Amino acid sequence: MKEISNSTLALLVVVAIVVSVFGTLLSLSKLNEFGGAEGITGMFSATATGGANLSVTETVSIQIIAIGADTNLSLIQLGTLNINATTASDDVNDWWKVENDGSVNVSIEITSYTVAGGGNPYGSGTYKGNQGFGPFTTTSIDSTGCVNPSTLIHTCFQVKCNGTDTGGNCTNIYYPLDNQTGGLNRKLVYDLSFVDTSDTAVFGVNVTVPLGESPGTKIQHVSIIAANSES
């Protein structure tokens, strides 16, 4: 058998080294493809997840806000009326606009305002029957006026929900103003949303001057009360 020369052996060794290096580089290239951009680092890796926990408080809150250029938010101006005449927010385009700025849907009622510490809780007026306060001082009981002589229901001052931003159920009917202590506690709007795009409702009044009423400025104070709709 022919002997292999030293030069041939040296050449074979070189070829083997080249093949080995090429194979190693090819293997590393393939591993990089599976190992992501960073490739093989020789270090262990692990992934952990974290979280943050919180609770939003349940808040029932409303506020009166401006309508257009009207800067007197809480006072509806009805102008001057004659005896037995009637006017309403619809006629003078002046309303209370109420915003639900809490964190739950609310229902709203409007009642006579009770003054803390005593005094006349009904504006300048007198209580007539179990519902319906008005800003008037007359004690006349006349079926041709706004005080029903048989039921004593006082329709001289009435309130209604005129509309909402689609975020609630509005009655849109005038009702006698409820007595805060003994009235019907009638809800004028149900489920007024707390979501910013649909969280306002507009309320108005309807006023008739009763027979026998003296002249002068009259004012009726009311409470606009909100409660959680789920209560």
pLDDT tens-digit map of 64-90: 987 765 666 788 999 999 998 999 999
Assess whether 74 and 147 both reside in one domain.
yes
- Determine the Cα–Cα distance for residues 46 and 42; give it in Å rounded to an integer: 13
Who has greater pLDDT, 167 or 43? 167
Is the residue at 130 inside a domain? yes
Task: Calculate what percentage of the chain has a pLDDT beyond 70.
Answer: 61
Mean pLDDT of 180-193: 78
Assess whether 37 and 107 both reside in one domain.
no
Is the residue at 9 inside a domain? yes
Burial class of residue 175 in the structure, from the number of CB atoms within 10 Å of its CB (0-12 exposed, 13-18 middle, 19+ buried): buried
Assess whether 180 and 229 both reside in one domain.
yes
- Determine the Cα–Cα distance for residues 226 and 168; give it in Å rounded to an integer: 13
- Report yes or no: 161 and 205 within 8 Å, Cβ to Cβ: no
Is the residue at 91 inside a domain? yes
Assess whether 128 and 186 both reside in one domain.
yes
* Domain harbouring 227, CATH code: 2.60.40
Assess whether 211 and 171 both reside in one domain.
yes
Assess whether 229 and 129 both reside in one domain.
yes
Assess whether 103 and 15 both reside in one domain.
no
pLDDT class of 92 with cuts at 50, 70, 90: very high
Q: Which of 59-63, 102-106, 110-114, 200-204 has the lowest mean pLDDT?
A: 110-114
- pLDDT at residue 158 tops 70: yes
Opening angle at CA 13, ends 6 and 11, nearest 5 = 55
Assess whether 225 and 120 both reside in one domain.
yes
Is the residue at 49 inside a domain? no
Assess whether 160 and 199 both reside in one domain.
yes
Assess whether 137 and 35 both reside in one domain.
no
Who has greater pLDDT, 156 or 140? 156
Is the residue at 50 inside a domain? no
User: How many structural domains does the chain have?
Assistant: 2
Is the residue at 53 inside a domain? no
How many residues make up the chain in this entry?
231
Who has greater pLDDT, 139 or 225? 225
- pLDDT at residue 95 tops 80: yes
Is the residue at 48 inside a domain? no
pLDDT class of 37 with cuts at 50, 70, 90: low
Who has greater pLDDT, 74 or 150? 74
- pTM, two decimals, is 0.71
Assess whether 86 and 35 both reside in one domain.
no
- pLDDT at residue 118 tops 50: no
Mean pLDDT of 187-207: 93
pLDDT class of 202 with cuts at 50, 70, 90: very high
Average pLDDT of the chain? 77
Is the residue at 146 inside a domain? yes
Which residue range is the domain that position 37 belongs to? 1-42
Assess whether 226 and 200 both reside in one domain.
yes
What b-and-e string marks burial along 98-133, b requiring 16 or more CB atoms within 10 Å of the CB? Answer: bbbebebbbbbbbbbbeeeeeeebbbebbbbbbbbb
